[in-house]
Structure 1
C-alpha cells in the first residue's frame, strides 16, 4: 500500500503558508490544521480540526501524514513530542525546487524550502527548518528543531546544536560548532565556535 499523500498541519500562519505551497507543488493534499484556535485568515480554505490537546487527533488523522508548521523552535519541539506520544505518521517535507545530495540524511518533520541546497554527507535532525535559498554545505550536522533562515550559508563541517536560530543571510565559517539554543542575527558572520548560549549579531560578531 502506497504512503498517504494527505497531510494534517499543526499550526496555520505565515510559515505554514510557505509549507503548504511546497506541499501542493510536491503533489500532497493538505486536509486541514490543528491549532489553539481557528485562524482569522484562511487563504487556503483549510478545515480547522481543533486544538490537539482537546480533541482525539488519532481518530481524525488516522494513517495520514502530520507536519509541524510552526516557526518557533520550542513550540515545534512540543509538537514533535506530541507526534511521538500518539504515534502519528511523520515525514520530510521537501519543496520540489530544493537540491539535496543523495548522501544527505534528513529526519522526519523537517522542512526543506524553495531553492535550498543540502550538500554531501550532511545530517539534518528532526523538526528542522531550512528556509528559502539557504545553503548547508558538505558534512554539516544540524540538531533537532533548528531554524536556518532564508539565504543563510553554513560552510562545510558546521555543527549546530538543538533549537538554534540562524537568521537570514548569516554566514557560518567551515569547521565550527554552535552549541544548543544560540540565536544568530540576520546578516551576521560567524568565524569562531559559539559555545556560550546567547544572541549574536554583526559582521564582527558580538553578543547582545
Structure 2
C-alpha cells in the first residue's frame, strides 16, 4: 500500500503529489473523492463500477467492474481509491483489492488540518475539505472523515467507519468499526460508540452506544 497522507504541522501548506489512479465506484460519494484527489494534484484515468454511467462529470474511461480483465490489468500498474460510501461494501472491495496486491491510495483534501501527532493508517482514508483532526487522534484504514468534520484530541475512529459532514467528535471519543455518524451529529467527550452503529443526522450523543445499535435525537436514544 502507499500513503499520500502525511502528518503536517497545523496550517502548513500541503505539498501536492501527482499520481495517476483509478476510482472504484462512480456516483455521489465517489464524485467527492474525485474532487479531493484532483484538488490534491492527482490525475484520475478511469473508473470501475457495475455498469457504465451516462453521467460522467470527470470524463473518465470505464473499465468494467474491479474484477474485469481490463480493470485488473490497469490496477496492476496504478493505485486505486474506493469511492463507495457504504461501509461494509467499501470494506469488502478493499479486502478484494488487497488480495490482488492492488495499491490503495488515500484522499486528503489540501484544506484539511491534521495535527502532527494524529495517526492515520494508510489505506483508503478520506479526509474532506475543511476537516480538522486534532492531537493524538487515531484514524484507521478505510475511514471517511467528510467535509467539515472535527475529530478532537485522542479520539479513535476504527476501520471503515464513516463520519458525516460537519459531525463533531469531542475528546476521547471512540467510534467502532463500520459505524456511521450522521451529518451534524455531536458526540460528547469520552463516549464510546460500538461497532456497526448508526447515529442519526443532527443527534447529540451523551452516553455510550452498544454494538449494532441505531440512535437519533437530542439526546440520542
TM-score range, shorter chain: over 0.9
Counterpart selection for 2:175 from 160, 164, 187: 160
1:191 aligns with 2:210: no
- Structure 1: how far apart are the matches of 2:186 and 2:215? 12
Mark the runs of 5 or more structure 2 residues left unpaired by the alignment. 1-16
Given the superposition, is the C-alpha separation of residues 127 and 196 from structure 1 closer, same or farther in structure 2, using an over 3 Å criterion? closer
Gaps of 5+ in 1: none
State the partner residue of 1:80: 94
Match of residue 63 from structure 1: 77
1:127 and 2:142 aligned: yes
Structure 1 distance, partners of 2:68, 2:92, is 15
Displacement of 1:55 after TM fit? 2.4
SS in structure 2 of the partner of residue 8 of structure 1: strand
Deviations 1:99-152, CA, capped at 9 Å, x for gaps: 001111112111000000000111111111100001000111111111100000
CA contact (8 A) 2:127 2:146 kept: yes
1:8 to 13, 17, 22: 22
2:184 pairs with one of 153, 169, 183: 169
Q: TM-score, normalised by structure 2?
A: 0.89
The aligned residue for residue 164 of structure 2 is 149
Q: CA deviation at 1:58?
A: 3.6
Instruction: Give the Cα separation in 1 of the matches to 2:34 and 2:202.
Output: 27
Task: Tell me the CA shift for residue 195 of structure 1.
Answer: 1.6
What do residues 81-116 of structure 1 show as CA deviations (whole Å, max 9, x unaligned)? 112101111122100110001111112111000000
Matched residue, 1:204 = 219
Superposition CA RMSD, Å:
1.3
Larger RCO, structures 1/2 (Cα 8 Å, 6+ apart):
2
TM-score by length of 1: 0.94
C-alpha separation between the residues in 1 aligned to 2:88 and 2:176?
A: 13
Tell me what 2:197 maps to: 182
Q: Work out whether 1:102 is the aligned partner of 2:121.
A: no
Corresponding position of 2:5: none
Q: For residue 129 of structure 2, what is the aligned residue in structure 1? A: 114
| Separation of aligned partners in 1, 2:137 and 2:155 | 5
